[in-house]
Amino acid sequence: MTSRERIRAVFAGERPDRVPLNVFAGWNPEVQTRMANRHGSLTAFLARYHIDAVTGVLPRFPFGSPARHAGSLELDHFLELEPDDPTSPAILTTPCDEVLSVTVQQALAAHEQQLAVLCHAWGVFELSQFLFERNGLPGTEQALLHMALEPEKTKQMYFKLAAWTADCVETAIKAGVDVIELSDDWGQQRTMLFSPDMWWEMVYPATKIILDRAHDFHVPVLLHSDGDVTQILDGILKLGVSGLHPVQESAGMSPKHVREFFGKSVCLMGGLDTITALPVMNAGQIRCEVERVFAILKGDGGFIFAGSHMFQNDTDPAVIEAAYDRAYELAPY
């Protein structure tokens, strides 16, 4: 199987020839430089360690530059603004930021190597945080506070943001991406950021619009949410996602429980914790950790081995390499 076929198979609920291997979304600059120096280029690293996919990232400022987002804490301001044209080629060629710098257009070049191309798109809660951005930081508190203070306006905003993301997703799909990676952090340590009731009432209906659009084109959606989202697994299933990332064990999620809950209907991506495993383990320990994770998640398909988030700058490249080496050894079905 080619990498692209392998990724497509796992999202279709079929057993591929081996567990696909992936990193996640982008690279912190220091670790990227160190890895590129060791292997000649990042592309060479991906080839050497049998990584099956690359990710291009969509912009996350629906209303243009960050400057247009700053200066208001009022939802009315954003409800009146006209978003950037989501059908414009600029959506595919504008880098998200310095870390998530690979554009969808750049990622699509990986099709030449028969790698799968994931398109990292932004969900409504995460986008809403960037409405209130200050000094380059997401306005998480404001986004959360508005959910409580102005639920109806927040819902309206979510629908507006969902319409924009759905159009961006369609543009990316028409350009040829294989999978939509929808990023929306709903969890925190051991619980959700907001109540499951609030999620069902406000986040679910808007998110469904994005999922439905991808499904109109028969493209699978991999949901990325940091933190513990155990409380809404039924909702995630109902959204129609084909994959979930990262199933964050260090935040309190149980990969075993999630695997049993979803069976093979939802593929799980992750297993390589970028906070509690990679930076604190040596090469021998990480090999054991990868074995532990494979014992839980490999099953008969439905698993993509990947980082739980972007590799942190204090991670020893040799530990990353040991993890992927061991994963490749364990990968065949």
Partner 1 sequence: MDATSDLKRIAALLQEGSITQVKQLTQELLDRGASPQTILNEGLIAGMAVVGEKMRSGEMYLPEVLQSASVMKAAMEILQPHLLRSGVEPIGRVVLGTVKGDMHDIGKNLVGIMLRGAGFEVIDLGLNTPAEKFVEAIQTHSPAVVGMSAMLTTTMLQMKKTIEAITAAQLREKVKIMVGGASVSQRFADEIGADAYARDAVTAVERAQAMLA
The residue ranges that bind partner 1 (CB under 8 A) are 137, 140-141, 144-145, 147-149, 188-189, 191-195, 198, 250-251, 275-276, 279-280, 312-314
Shortest Cβ 28–partner 1 spacing (Å) = 8
Which CB atom, from 144 or from 283, has the smaller least distance to partner 1? 144
Shortest Cβ 94–partner 1 spacing (Å) = 22
Which CB atom, from 47 or from 148, has the smaller least distance to partner 1? 148
Output the CA torsion sign for 120, 124, 125, 131.
positive
Instruction: Respond yes or no on whether the N-terminal peptide bond of residue 66 is cis (omega within 30° of 0).
Output: no
Shortest Cβ 56–partner 1 spacing (Å) = 24
Which CB atom, from 192 or from 268, has the smaller least distance to partner 1? 192
Phi, psi of 137 (to 5 degrees): -115, 145
Shortest Cβ 322–partner 1 spacing (Å) = 18
Shortest Cβ 291–partner 1 spacing (Å) = 22
Q: Which CA distances in Å does 140 have to 82, 145, 179, 193, 216?
A: 22, 9, 27, 10, 31
CA 45 to mean position of chain CA atoms: 21
User: Across the strands, what pairs with 53?
Assistant: 116
Which CB atom, from 20 or from 270, has the smaller least distance to partner 1? 270
Dihedral, 199, 203, 209, 213 alpha carbons, nearest 10: -90
Which CB atom, from 270 or from 302, has the smaller least distance to partner 1? 270
Which CB atom, from 107 or from 310, has the smaller least distance to partner 1? 310
Q: Which CA distances in Å does 163 have to 62, 206, 213?
A: 10, 8, 9
| CB of 182 closer than 8 Å to CB of 141 | no
Shortest Cβ 9–partner 1 spacing (Å) = 34
Phi, psi of 181 (to 5 degrees): -105, 100
